[in-house]
Amino acid sequence: MSGYDNTCKFLAETFPSDFASWLLGRPISLTKLEASELTLEPIRADSVIFLESSEVILHLEFQTRTDETMAYRMANYWLRLYGKYPNREIHQTVIYLKSTSSPLVYQTSFSSQKLNHEFNVIRLWEQPTDILQNYLGLLPLSVLSKTEDPIETLRKAAKIIDNIEDRQIKNNVSAATAIISGLALNKDVIQHLLRSEIMKESVIYQDILLEGKVKGKAEGKAEERNQIALKMLLSNVSVDLVSQFTGLSIKQIEKLQKSATESAKNTKSSRSRRSLKPSPQL
């Protein structure tokens, strides 16, 4: 799963009512449904998002590229969901992030012999920008919407972000906006409009997430990943989002955070002892 898909998954799980308002037309309170709740063969838990209420299940898939098996997978997932939750409404939507001429982005059904299944498809580049800018959880997607000026759209998003009072939400939305905007704009533009330090780190991290960009030994990759995680934590990005970006587990991040805190304390203590040491007499 790409960094873009990971970021979208984080947004859907963090701002579920925003996605419900957009896709279902009503701000239903939804919680994450673990893929492990479904039976049969293991589900690709890294690439699907299930949100639930007592009446509704919202199944989302974010895609940066087309997949010939998508229609079958949607039918397969629907049958699994229906088998487990026969009394709930099941809404399925595939959201394509990047414009393409592939006919697969218009495929909204699966048919085989007597089985016919339909699902929803959203092509972000056809979505009105204003709708996405009305919700914090959708704001990072706005640059990929139907806009004649992506740079101006990002500039407006940056102004909205500046007015967010909650620091952690502000940093999370900023980081998500920086990463997703990388599908439409170059780094220099993004860094100019989203000026905080976390923006720089998030945009740089796209190089690590994109296939073929990472070079060097595995040890070097792990160390670089740890350094990025630490910088994001110092910028008040939530542990969950750091996990989505870096691929580190929550436990690994918490251990890394604890180690960094202890190291900082030891450094401060050492400096304090040196400052108390009497100066040599002349």
Question: Does the structure show a pLDDT above 50 at 230?
Answer: yes
At 155 the pLDDT is 94
The share of the chain scoring above pLDDT 70, in percent, equals: 77
With bands split at pLDDT 50, 70 and 90, how would you rate the model's confidence at 60? very high
Give me the chain's average pLDDT, please: 81
Question: What are 135-191's pLDDT values in tens digits?
Answer: 999 999 999 999 999 999 999 999 999 899 988 788 888 888 988 998 898 878 887
SS (H, E, C) the chain: CCHHHHHHHHHHHHCHHHHHHHHHCCCCCCEECCHHHCCCCCCCCCCCEEEECCCEEEEEEEECCCCCCHHHHHHHHHHHHHHHCCCCEEEEEEEECCCCCCHHHHCCEEEECCEEEECEEEEHHHCEHHHHHCCCCCHHHHHHCECCCHHHHHHHHHHHHHCCCCHHHHHHHHHHHHHHHCCCCCHHHHHHHCCCHHHHHHHHHHHHHCCCCCCCCHHHHHHHHHHHHHHHHHCCCCHHHHHHHHCCCHHHHHHHHHHHHHHHHHHHHHHHHHHHCCCCCC
